[in-house]
Amino acid sequence: MRLLIAASGTGGHLFPAIATAAQLQDYQIEWLGVPDRLETQLVPQQYPLHTISVQGFQQRFGLGTVRTFSRLKIGRA
């Protein structure tokens, strides 16, 4: 069975996801992350890594939110 894990950024998200993946022996695991983040150094040693350029949502609606939505569309292509 195939499994795509999406975990990126800080060690607080990444290390628990790597530990979980290590326990899933019956799965073919691939990873989804963001370029130039910690996962680009750690994940390729163990799993195939696919990256997309995205950014977090802003709390207030404004130009930053519009940019985020436009980048999501590009990342999806």
Domain range spanning residue 19?
Answer: 2-76
3-state SS string for 8-40: CCCHHHHHHHHHHHHHCCCCEEEEEECCCCCHH
pLDDT (tens digit, 9 = 90+) per residue, 17-69?
999 999 999 999 999 998 988 899 999 999 999 998 876 666 677 777 777 77
- CB contact at 8 A, 31 and 57: no
Lowest mean pLDDT among 6-10, 14-18, 34-38, 68-72: 68-72
Q: How many domains does the chain have?
A: 1
Model confidence, pTM: 0.70
| CATH code for the domain in which residue 49 is found | 3.40.50.2000
| Residue 24 φ then ψ, to 5° | -95, 70
